[in-house]
Amino acid sequence: MSLDPQIAAIIEALDSGFPPVHTMTGEQARAVIRSRFVAPAEPEPVASVEDRTVPGPAGPVPVRVYRPHARADGPLPTMVFAHGGGWVFCDLDSHDGLCRAFTNGMSAVVVSVHYRRASEEGRWPAAAEDVYAVTAWVAAHIDEFGGDGSAVLVGGDSAGGNLAAVTALMARDRGGPALAAQVLLYPVIAADFDTASYRQFGEGFYNPRPALQWYWDQYVPSVEDRRDPYASPLSAEDLSGLPPAIAVVAGHDPLRDEGLAYVEALETAGVRTVCRYFEGGVHGFMTMPSFDICQRARTQVCADVADLVAGIGATAP
């Protein structure tokens, strides 16, 4: 196995610079991560960016709506996106660059969700219920977004990938909304910290095991609750009837094995699944735009979404 050369050149600096969030409260971790955020001087141009709120189970949920710079005529695919950050930190700003790349690359509306984060703001299932509520609301008001009602997707990275997978389960179990796809970028899928990939990459690869365990402690402190499919989708007894999945797995990620296991479980359940495996990637690499592997992965995911949406159009009555 080989780490991407561009990442390998700075992995020690990346790893040593990761703050010891497992020694902090959620509020402290949010403050530290936020203080390190530097917005790009020239963000990727898009047609429009709008901050607004939509109704949620505990009050209004902030969202950021992106529309693509160049677009085809007619309604657009619409992806509700949940950012990563261990359910504890990151926000609409931290994932602004990725959402801009996706709205242009997919020629889709992207609705980024600022869900309630763990610890002081709300524990499980608060974040999942927020993302589901936004997804249901967007689907019900798709005309407001210039969206295509047959092409509503849910996506997310890391902990946001967990929320996207859980939203797909909730939508199936609750009778809607109908989703065209779930886009899962190196998702958190199970609370198992003793897989081969955890043992291999839980130290020295930027996303350390103590931090990953701490994320679960903040969001789902109860071991019993962690067995719930709405916390750990890999625990679901039945994955049939879910929307098609596009999954990205990083080869040097503690979460590699649970991601691959979920891909296998989805395929076994008859869910159409595309897995894009990036051997040289570390956790979070798709939010590192200076790396070529990040750009390749973004391009691939956008192409996969475009192919899926084109297939929906081809089969529409």
Q: Is residue 187 part of a domain?
A: yes
pTM: predicted TM-score of the whole model, two decimal places: 0.97
Whole domain around residue 273: which residue ranges?
Answer: 5-37+51-314
Diameter over CA atoms, the chain: 56
Q: Is residue 236 part of a domain?
A: yes
Reading the block at residue 113, the tokens are: 């969700």
Q: Is residue 217 part of a domain?
A: yes
What CA–CA distance (Å, rounded) separates 43 from 25? Answer: 31
Give the residue numbers marked as catalytic.
Answer: 158, 253, 283
The per-residue pLDDT for range 169-206, each reduced to its tens digit, is 999 999 999 999 999 999 999 999 999 999 999 999 99
> Among residues 176, 164, 191, which one has the least CA distance to residue 139?
176
End-to-end alpha carbon distance in the chain = 46
What CA–CA distance (Å, rounded) separates 261 from 270? Answer: 14
Q: Is residue 121 part of a domain?
A: yes
The pLDDT tens digits along the chain (317 residues) read 799 999 999 999 999 999 999 999 999 999 999 999 998 999 999 999 999 999 999 999 999 999 998 766 789 999 999 999 999 999 999 999 999 999 999 999 999 999 999 976 689 999 999 999 999 999 999 999 899 999 999 999 999 999 999 999 999 999 999 999 999 999 999 999 999 999 999 999 999 999 999 999 999 999 999 999 999 999 999 999 999 999 999 999 999 999 999 999 999 999 999 999 999 999 999 999 999 999 999 999 999 999 999 988 665 54
Which helix (DSSP H) or strand (DSSP E) does residue 32 occupy? helix 26-36
Q: Is residue 297 part of a domain?
A: yes
Residue 60, domain CATH: 3.40.50.1820
Q: Is residue 198 part of a domain?
A: yes
Q: Is residue 79 part of a domain?
A: yes
The per-residue pLDDT for range 220-245, each reduced to its tens digit, is 999 999 999 999 999 999 999 999 99
CA distances from 237 to 14, 228, 250, 275, 301 (A): 38, 10, 26, 21, 28
Residue 260: exposure state from Cβ atoms within 10 A (0-12, 13-18, ≥19): middle
Q: Is residue 42 part of a domain?
A: no
What CA–CA distance (Å, rounded) separates 317 from 315? Answer: 6
The total number of structural domains in the chain stands at 1
